[in-house]
Amino acid sequence: MCLRGHADPRYKPRIGHRHRPSSERPPPGDVYANAGAMSVQPLSLIPAQAVPSATAVLYTSPVGVISRIDSLSVCNVGAVPAQVTINLVPSGAAAGSGNVTTSGQTILPGQTWNSPNEIGKVLGAGDAIAVLSSVANALTIAAGGLQVTAS
């Protein structure tokens, strides 16, 4: 038998690799001891509501909070195809071509579209989600995610 109980005599341990003895491992429950306290709250970032036909901010990440978008869906409740444009607007900026994440996505009547473009995006304090519909009263939007507050 070879090192560490391996039957193959050609086995050689990786250079610099060793198992830490239990005395060098962090104690259970102390893994995030230096991370500080934080609160993570799942919530509806944008409760289901109509998408306006003029660009409007529907969610702003509060001061001292980081928000992550986990889901964002748009449904066409109208009788004609409609397009949605979504902006992730940095704090202090205005919605514009530089912060568009979804541009003119067509949604057919009765169709629900789950956007892959905003999922996983993180909004800092003051950052916002702004939306625009090409047809008034045709689209509804809903978004969910997490708010993380460090204390």
Pick out the chain residues at pLDDT < 50.
1-3, 30-34
Cα-flanking dihedrals φ and ψ of residue 128, to 5°? -140, 160
Domain 35-150 has CATH 1.10.8: no
Name, in order, each residue with C-beta under 8 angstroms of 120's C-beta and a sequence gap of 6 or more: 68, 69, 70
Give the model's pLDDT for residue 1.
44
Give the model's pLDDT for residue 23.
56
Question: Token pair for residue 81?
Answer: 């195809």
Give the model's pLDDT for residue 41.
93
The whole model's pTM is what? 0.76
| Nearest-angstrom CA–CA distance, 145 and 68 | 5
Give the model's pLDDT for residue 97.
96
Give the model's pLDDT for residue 11.
58
Name, in order, each residue with C-beta under 8 angstroms of 136's C-beta and a sequence gap of 6 or more: 52, 53
